[in-house]
Chains A and B, each alone.
Chain A
Amino acid sequence: MENTTQESHLRSENSVTYESPYPLYSMALSSSSSQSRTRNHRIAVGSFIEEYANRVDLLSFDAETLTLTAHPELSFDHPYPPTKLMFHPSSVQKSFDVLASSGDYLRLWEVRDTSIEPISVLNNSKTSEFCAPLTSFDWNDVEPKRIGTSSIDTTCTVWDIEKGVVETQLIAHDKEVYDLAWGEARVFASVSADGSVRIFDLRDKEHSTIIYESPQPDTPLLRLAWNKQDLRYMATILMDSNKVVILDIRSPTTPVAELERHRASVNAIAWAPQSYRHICSAGDDTQALIWELPTVAGPSGIDPMSMYSAGAEINQLQWSAAQPDWISIAFANKMQLLKV
C-alpha cells in the first residue's frame, strides 16, 4: 500500500469523506475485496469536468478503520465525464478487478493493486465520425459476461464482454435511452426520454413490455433501479421532479407508490441490498432519504424513515451489496460514505 494515505477530512465512526480536486459524478464500489491480504473495498469515482479529459480515481476503503485511501497511481484519464462506473459484479476472488465505464463508448479496465490497464473499448458505431454517447449501463450479475448499455440513439446494446462482441442491439425506445437495469440473466428494463419504462427479454426481442409511462407525455425518465431483493419492484425518477416512482411489474401503468418528500429534484436512487422494502434517494435538496415501503400507503403519502443532509446537492448515490451498511453519496467534489 502506498504511504500517501489520504485521510478524509470529515471523519467520525459513522462516516468518512473523500474530497476530490474536481466535481464528482460517477461512483462505483467493488463487490469483492479483490486484494487477498486486506478486506479493503475499492471505490472508483469519476469526475465531471467540462473538458474532454476527465479523471477516474480509485480509492480503497477499510470499514474497520474507517479509512479511505487514495491511489493516485491508479487514476486514469477518461474521455468525457464518465456517465457510469461499475466494478465486475462477481465476488469471486481474483487477482484483479475489472472496472467498466461508459461515456462515448463502453470501456473495460483491468485494475490491479498497483496498476490499471485498459482492456477494451467496445464500440458498436457503424461510422467513425459520429458516436452516440452512452448514458448508462448495467452489468448482469447473474451472467457477468453481459453488459447492457443505453444510448441516446434510442437503442440498448447487450455486449458479450468476454468475446467483445455485440450480443444484440435493440431499438428499445422512441427517444434517447437514459438508463438500463438487469433483472435476470436475460431480462432488463430501460427508461427513456420517451417517458416509458420498458422491460425486454432477450428470448423475445420482438416485444417489450411498457410498465410505466410518465404522466406528462415525453417527460424523460432519468434513472431506473431494479429491486434485486424483490424483482417485482423497481424505481424510477422523472426529470425535474421530486418524485420517486415505485413500480410493480405486475401492475403496469400504475405506480404502487410515489415518494414525494424531496424538496427539489431527485438525482439518484438505490435499493437497499439487504432489504426488499428499503430504498434510498438523494437529490438537489441536499438530502438523502431512506424509505421503507409500507404495506399500505396512508392518505397523506409516505414519509421517509430517516434523512441525512449533505452540504450540497447530491448527485450520486450507491448502496453496494458488498457494503450493505454503507451508503455512498457524491456531492460537489466530495464522496462520502454514510453508515446506516
Chain B
Amino acid sequence: MEMDSNSNSDSNSNGGGGVAESDSGAEDLVESDSGWRPKHLLFTPYSPPTQTQTKSQSLRVVVRRPLVARLTKDIIETYQICNPQFRYSEELNPKRYLTTPSIGVLNDGFDNVNSDLILNVNYVLINLETQRRYIVKDVLGHGTFGQVAKCWAPDTSSFVAVKIIKNQTAYYQQALVEVSILTTLNKKYDPEDKHHVVRIYDYFVYQRHLCISFELLDSNLYELIKMNQFRGLSLSIVRLFSKQILHGLALLKDAGIIHCDLKPENILLCTGVDTTDLLKFSLGLPLFPGASEFDLLRRMIEILGGQPPDYLLKEAKNTNKFFKCIGSVHNIENGEVSAGIRSAYQALTEEEYEARELKKPSVGKEYFNHMNLEAIVTNYPYRKNLAKEDIIKESQIRLALIDFLRGLVEFDPAKRWSPFQASKHPFVTGEPFTCPYKPPPETPRLPVAQNIRVDHHPGGGHWFAAGLSPNIPGRNRVAMHNSPHFQVVPYAHTNSYGSIGSYGSYNDSTGLGSSYGSYGDTNSMYAYFSPVGPSGMNMHVPGNVSVLGSSPDSRRRIVHYSHGNGIGISPSAGNFAPLPLGTSPSQFTPPSSYGQVSAGSPGHYGPTSPARGSCHGSPLGKMAAVSQFNRRKGWAYPGGSHSQDSSSTNWQGQSADGTSSSQTEGNSQLLGNSPSHPLSNSNAARWKHHGGGSGISAGYPAIQSVPGFFALGSNMQYSHTGVTHDKQENSLALPDPGDWDPNYSDELLLQEDGSDLNCIATEFSKAMDLGSAEPSVEQGRFSHISGTSQRPNGPLQSFSRLEMGSVPSDAAHAGYSHLVSKPSHLMPHASQSSPSRLGQQHQRYSHGRPIAAVRGSDWNPMKVQPPPSGYNSGTGNSSFGSSMSWGNPGSIEPLYLLFEHCYLSPLVMD
C-alpha cells in the first residue's frame, strides 16, 4: 500500500521487529511526521500468536453473535426480541428508481413513456418458465433498444447483465435476432468461450419485455481510452487487444456474421485493467477523425496514400458524390485501367465537392498535420526517459504496426487481410518484424470457401466444383471485371485465387503451394498439385492424397481443428468449413493438422460426405495448412511431409495415391486417377450420402483434370454433371429466396438451430456454388497455376480464356469472397449444426440442408461474381437464379442489414 508520508519506510518494520524490542527500543522506530506514536504501556509490542495460542484460539467457539452484528445485520431480530410487537417491512422502503422517467404510463403502468420497463433497485425479473430470478441492482446503460441492468442471479450466485428490451415489436424482433446470433456463436462456434464473444445465458419475456441475460463484463474500450485521457494505450496492450479482437472477428467470419458496429464502445473489457500500465502508445485518437463522409474519405486517401480500386468505385453507388471520372469507362470495363498506372477516378477537392453537392463539406480538425500513416506512427512521441535500446525496440514495433495497419486499412477488399491473416501478423504475434508481412493464404480460405462451395457441389462434392469449373467461362467474363484488379496485381494469379492476393504472395514464394491452396479450395486436387509441384514427391503424395486426400486432409484437418477447437472446427466444418479450415490450419497445426487432418479427414470425408460441408472446409483447410507450411518451411514440402506423417494411418494410403498423383500432376491422368481413386472411395460413400454421387465422381475427374488443364475441360463436363445434380437437389431443397427471408428471420429469432434455414441457405448456396463460383474460381486458379507452370498445356484454348476470365473472377471472387464469406457466415448460423459437421451434418445432409451451410458461404462468392448469372443461365437457371438472387441481394448486403439491426453483441476482451 502507499501512504503519503514523510517518515521513513523503516517504520514498517515495527510490526515484526517490535517483538524483540523493548519499549524503549520500539520508540526508536521512525516516527510518523505527526510525531505521535503509541507508547507501550498497556499495549505491548505485537507478537504473532504461537501455535498453541492458535490452537486454543481455533478451539474457541463463539456462540453469541458480535453485538455489532446484532445491531446491524440482525437488528430486526434484536428489536423483535426486545419488543415482540416490533414489526418491520421492507415493502415500505423508499424505492430507488433506476429508470427515467419513472412514471408508469404504458403497459398498465409498468412502462414509462419510452416503453421502458420501470426498474427500481431490487426489482425482480423472473423467467417464468424456469422460475429463475434476476434481482436488479443497477442500470448499466440504456439506449434505443432499452436498458441494461446489472442483476444478481441467486441461482448462480453471480451478477449478470440483463438487457431489457423495450416493449415495442420492432425492438423485440431485433433483439430476437441478436439472441439467435449470439446463441449460435456461443453454442456452435465458441462453446468453450475462447473467442472473446460475449456469452448469452438466458432470455425470457417478463412484463411484455424481452430480457436477455449476458455475462457481466467490465467497462468498454472507449472508456478505457477515455480514462487514459485519450493518450492512447501501450503497444503491448494494443497488441493484446488486436489479437483478441481478431480472434473474435475470425470466429464471426467463420460463422458468416458481419459485425456492423465494431467500435471501442462495443468492445468490453473482462476485468479491470490496471490503468497505470496503459499509457503510452497508440494515438488515442481516431486515425481518420472525419467530420463528414467527404472529410473521412479525404483523410483516408491522404493518410493512406491511395484510393479505392477502380472496380470498387465503378460499382459503388456514391462514387459520383466524391469522385470524378477522368478515365475512359470503356477502359474500366475492360479492366485495362486497373492494371494501369492511373485510376480512372479522382477524388473531388473540397471546392469541387462543394460545387457538386451545393454545400460545403464539414471538415474536422487536423490532428496529424497532413501526415501519412507512416509518419503518424513514426513521429508519435516516444515515452519520456526511454532507454535507447528501448526506443530502438519500440521503433521496430512501430514499423510492424505500420505494416499491420496497412494491411487492415487496405482499400481493396480483395487484398485486405482477413481477421485470421491479420492475426498472424508479427505485430500481433510478437515475432520480430523483418519485412513486409505476407499473409498466409487464408484468403484462400475465402476462396476456399468458394472452393468449398465447389466442395459443396462436390459435397456432393468438391468434385462438383470441378464440374463448376465448366461454368467458369461465364464467370470468367464476369470475373473479368474484377480481373483488372488482379491483373494489376503482380500476384494476380495468386490473387485471383482468392483474396487471392495473399495467395499470390504465397504462391510466389511457394508457387505451387499457394496456387494449391486456392486450387485446393476449389478442388482438393489443386492443392495437391501445387504441393506436388513444389515439394515434388512429398507434396505430391499429399497432393494426390489431397485431391482426394488433400481435400480430405484439409477437411480432416479442419475437422481436427474443429475437434481441437471444439467449436471452431465443427462449426467451420459445417458451415464454413472453408473458413475454419483456413483458420485452423493457419492458426496452428498446419503441420500436425496435416497429419491429423489426414487421419480425420478420411473420417470426415466419409462422414462428411456430408462432406460437402466438410469437404469444402477441408479443401480450405488444406489450403491454409499448405500455405502455412509453405511459409513456415518455405515450402509445401514440409506441409507435405506433415501431412504424410500425420495422415500416415488412413491417409498414407491415400497419400501414396497422392504422391502418385502429384507426380501425376505433370500427368493429368495420374492425378486424375489417383485422386479419383481415393476420392472415389471415400467420396463414394459420402457422395452417396449426398446423393450427388455422380457429382462427386465428376468432381474427382475434374480435379484430376484440373491438374492438367485438360482437366479443366473434364471439369467442365463434370461440373456440369455435378452441377446439374446439385441443382436438382438444390432446387428441390431450396426454397425461394422470398421464402427465405421470413424463415430466416424467424429462425434467427428464436431457434437455436437454424438447421432448416441453414439447409435452405445451404441448398441455395449449393446451387449457387454449383452454378457459378466454384467453376470459375477453379478454372481461373487452375489456369493461373497452369498458366504459370503449364500454360502451354493447360492453357488450352478454353483455358486461356478461363485464365483470363478466371483470374479476374478469382480476384473478384477474392474480393467478393471476403464479402461473401461473411454473408456465408450468416448462413452458417443457420447451419449452426454444421459445427458438429460429422454428426450433425450428416443429419443435415439427410435433411439435405446441411450442405446448404457450406453453400451459403459459397453463395456469397457466387453472388459476388457476376459470372454466376452466366452460370445460372448456363446451368440450372432456376436454382441458380434463386441462389444468385440471394447472393447478390441477400448474400452481402442483406446480411449486413440484418446484422446492423441485430446489434451483434460486443466482443469480449480478456
- Distance in angstroms between the alpha carbons of A104 and B76 in the assembled complex: 11
Residues of A contacting B83 with CB < 8 Å? Answer: 52, 80
Residues of B contacting A230 with CB < 8 Å? Answer: 4
Check A178/B72 contact, CB under 8 A, given A256-B1, A284-B66. Answer: yes
Please determine whether B73 and A275 come into contact, CB atoms closer than 8 angstroms: no
- Distance in angstroms between the alpha carbons of A32 and B76 in the assembled complex: 35
Q: Tell yes or no: A318 within 8 A of B by CB.
A: no
Taking the nearest CB of chain B, how far is it from the CB of A281, in angstroms? 12
Which residue of B71, B75, B76, B95 has the most chain A CB atoms within 10 A of its CB atom?
A: B71
Residues of B contacting A194 with CB < 8 Å? Answer: 137
Please determine whether A303 and B73 come into contact, CB atoms closer than 8 angstroms: no
- Distance in angstroms between the alpha carbons of A83 and B37 in the assembled complex: 31
For chain B residues 400-416, which have a beta carbon within 8 Å of chain A?
A: none
Check A135/B79 contact, CB under 8 A, given A154-B93, A306-B38. Answer: no
For chain A residues 119-178, which have a beta carbon within 8 Å of chain B?
A: 126-127, 129-133, 135-136, 152-155, 169, 171, 174, 176, 178
* Contact with B3, one of A152, A256, A339 (Cβ below 8 angstroms): A256
Please determine whether B12 and A295 come into contact, CB atoms closer than 8 angstroms: yes
Please determine whether B66 and A80 come into contact, CB atoms closer than 8 angstroms: no
Q: Tell yes or no: B96 within 8 A of A by CB.
A: yes
Taking the nearest CB of chain B, how far is it from the CB of A106, in angstroms? 15
Say which size band chain A's interface belongs to. Answer: 35 or more
Check A130/B73 contact, CB under 8 A, given A285-B57, A294-B9. Answer: no
- Residue of B whose beta carbon sits closest to that of A315: B67
Check A152/B88 contact, CB under 8 A, given A263-B49, A296-B2. Answer: yes
Residues of B contacting A283 with CB < 8 Å? Answer: 66
Residues of B contacting A179 with CB < 8 Å? Answer: 72
Please determine whether B87 and A130 come into contact, CB atoms closer than 8 angstroms: yes
Q: Tell yes or no: A68 within 8 A of B by CB.
A: no
* Contact with B43, one of A51, A255, A268, A307 (Cβ below 8 angstroms): A307
Taking the nearest CB of chain B, how far is it from the CB of A299, in angstroms? 11
Q: Tell yes or no: B32 within 8 A of A by CB.
A: yes
Taking the nearest CB of chain B, how far is it from the CB of A151, in angstroms? 9
- Distance in angstroms between the alpha carbons of A222 and B71 in the assembled complex: 10
Pick out which of these stretches binds chain A: B13-21, B449-457, B623-631. Answer: B13-21
- Distance in angstroms between the alpha carbons of A229 and B33 in the assembled complex: 12
Q: Tell yes or no: B121 within 8 A of A by CB.
A: yes
For chain A residues 211-248, which have a beta carbon within 8 Å of chain B?
A: 217-218, 220, 222-223, 229-230, 232-233, 239-240, 246, 248
Check A275/B60 contact, CB under 8 A, given A155-B94, A339-B42. Answer: no
* Contact with B15, one of A126, A174, A304 (Cβ below 8 angstroms): A304
Residues of A contacting B54 with CB < 8 Å? Answer: 263
- Distance in angstroms between the alpha carbons of A261 and B45 in the assembled complex: 13
Residues of B contacting A217 with CB < 8 Å? Answer: 152, 157-159
Please determine whether B36 and A52 come into contact, CB atoms closer than 8 angstroms: no
Q: Tell yes or no: B130 within 8 A of A by CB.
A: no
Residues of B contacting A305 with CB < 8 Å? Answer: 14-15, 18, 26, 37-38, 43, 45-46
Check A295/B5 contact, CB under 8 A, given A50-B82, A305-B14, A313-B62. Answer: yes
- Distance in angstroms between the alpha carbons of A204 and B819 in the assembled complex: 51
Please determine whether B48 and A303 come into contact, CB atoms closer than 8 angstroms: yes
Check A83/B93 contact, CB under 8 A, given A133-B88, A295-B12. Answer: no
Q: Tell yes or no: A30 within 8 A of B by CB.
A: no
- Distance in angstroms between the alpha carbons of A153 and B79 in the assembled complex: 15
- Distance in angstroms between the alpha carbons of A268 and B43 in the assembled complex: 17
Residues of A contacting B159 with CB < 8 Å? Answer: 217
Residues of A contacting B229 with CB < 8 Å? Answer: none
- Residue of A whose beta carbon sits closest to that of B72: A178
- Residue of B whose beta carbon sits closest to that of A255: B1
Please determine whether B18 and A268 come into contact, CB atoms closer than 8 angstroms: no
- Residue of B whose beta carbon sits closest to that of A83: B71
Check A306/B18 contact, CB under 8 A, given A298-B12, A339-B42. Answer: yes
* Chain B residues within 8 Å of chain A by Cβ, number: 67
Taking the nearest CB of chain B, how far is it from the CB of A318, in angstroms? 13
- Residue of B whose beta carbon sits closest to that of A258: B1
For chain B residues 852-886, which have a beta carbon within 8 Å of chain A?
A: none
For chain A residues 295-326, which have a beta carbon within 8 Å of chain B?
A: 295-298, 302-308, 313, 315-316, 324
Check A268/B94 contact, CB under 8 A, given A133-B75, A303-B46. Answer: no
* Contact with A25, one of B4, B36, B43, B71 (Cβ below 8 angstroms): B71
- Distance in angstroms between the alpha carbons of A77 and B2 in the assembled complex: 46
- Distance in angstroms between the alpha carbons of A305 and B39 in the assembled complex: 10
Q: Tell yes or no: B89 within 8 A of A by CB.
A: yes
Q: Tell yes or no: B429 within 8 A of A by CB.
A: no
For chain A residues 80-94, which have a beta carbon within 8 Å of chain B?
A: 80-81, 83
Taking the nearest CB of chain A, how far is it from the CB of B375, in angstroms? 38
Q: Tell yes or no: B286 within 8 A of A by CB.
A: no
Q: Tell yes or no: B7 within 8 A of A by CB.
A: yes
- Distance in angstroms between the alpha carbons of A14 and B44 in the assembled complex: 12
Taking the nearest CB of chain B, how far is it from the CB of A49, in angstroms? 8
Please determine whether A308 and B94 come into contact, CB atoms closer than 8 angstroms: no
Please determine whether A133 and B73 come into contact, CB atoms closer than 8 angstroms: no
Check A264/B43 contact, CB under 8 A, given A152-B75, A178-B73, A315-B68. Answer: no
Q: Tell yes or no: B40 within 8 A of A by CB.
A: yes
Interface string of B53-90 (1 = CB under 8 A from A): 01001001010001111111101101101110001111
Taking the nearest CB of chain B, how far is it from the CB of A303, in angstroms? 3
- Residue of B whose beta carbon sits closest to that of A53: B82
Please determine whether B60 and A293 come into contact, CB atoms closer than 8 angstroms: no
* Contact with A308, one of B4, B42, B81, B93 (Cβ below 8 angstroms): B42
- Residue of A whose beta carbon sits closest to that of B136: A174
Q: Tell yes or no: A278 within 8 A of B by CB.
A: yes
Q: Tell yes or no: A44 within 8 A of B by CB.
A: no
Q: Tell yes or no: A15 within 8 A of B by CB.
A: yes
Residues of B contacting A257 with CB < 8 Å? Answer: 1
Taking the nearest CB of chain A, how far is it from the CB of B277, in angstroms? 14
Residues of A contacting B272 with CB < 8 Å? Answer: 253
* Contact with A275, one of B36, B44, B158 (Cβ below 8 angstroms): B36
Residues of B contacting A197 with CB < 8 Å? Answer: none
Please determine whether B75 and A294 come into contact, CB atoms closer than 8 angstroms: no
Residues of B contacting A188 with CB < 8 Å? Answer: none
Pick 12 A–B contacts, CB within 8 A, sort by A. A54-B82, A153-B90, A174-B121, A176-B72, A176-B73, A223-B68, A232-B4, A272-B36, A285-B57, A289-B46, A295-B5, A324-B36
Known: A253-B272, A276-B32. 11 other contacts (CB 8 A): A25-B67, A48-B67, A80-B78, A132-B88, A233-B3, A284-B62, A284-B66, A288-B43, A296-B2, A303-B48, A307-B43
B→A interface (CB under 8 Å): 1-5, 7, 9, 11-12, 14-16, 18, 26, 32, 34, 36-49, 54, 57, 60, 62, 66-73, 75-76, 78-79, 81-83, 87-90, 92-96, 121-122, 137-138, 152, 157-159, 272
Interchain residue pairs A-B with the least CB separation, the first 7: A303-B15, A294-B12, A256-B1, A306-B43, A171-B96, A257-B1, A275-B36
